[in-house]
Structure 1
Amino acid sequence: MRVTTKGQVTIPKQIRDHLGIGPGSEVEFVATNEGARLVAVNENVSEEEASRRFKDVLAGMAGTLDLGGMTADDYIEWLRGPREDLDVD
């Protein structure tokens, strides 16, 4: 599949049919460890299905952030930088 100069790709018909994608449908590309996943955005999805899909996305992201042994607090401090406004003794 080739990307055009406008960043567009053609989704093969068998995939469009399988996902129920037609003109005016919305899709999302979700980054994964393997590359990217095409997800059809369906407004008529049940709450249970939306929850399952969300859990699948979260499961795909599990373990993708290596904190190098930092705790969550250490990581937040690293992100924010030193807090000079705090009186640390």
Structure 2
Amino acid sequence: MNVKDQIEARLHAAFRPEELEVENESHRHAGHAGDDGTGESHFRVRIRAAELAAMSRVDRHRAVTRALGDLVPRIHALALDIG
């Protein structure tokens, strides 16, 4: 399973979001710092879930990072839009 699919699966399991968009932006960073050549280094996530909406911004980011677990060290850049 590729990293995008793993991100989606883990966030669905953790938060049952009303909205979830995961975009692989790695192609935009080819040749830049953090590009490991896999095409799976840069991601943008937009997630809307009731559980997250009740948290502070910092707690939302921590919760998503926890849910992604061992994927986080494999991702060079992760842009989060959480609500």
Answer whether TM exceeds 0.5 for this pair.
no
Between Structure 1 and Structure 2, the one with more strand by share is 2
Answer with 1 or 2: which has the greater Rg. 1
TM-score by length of 2: 0.26
Q: Which has the higher contact order (CA 8 A, sep 6+)?
A: 2
Q: Using structure 1 for the length normalisation, give the TM-score.
A: 0.26
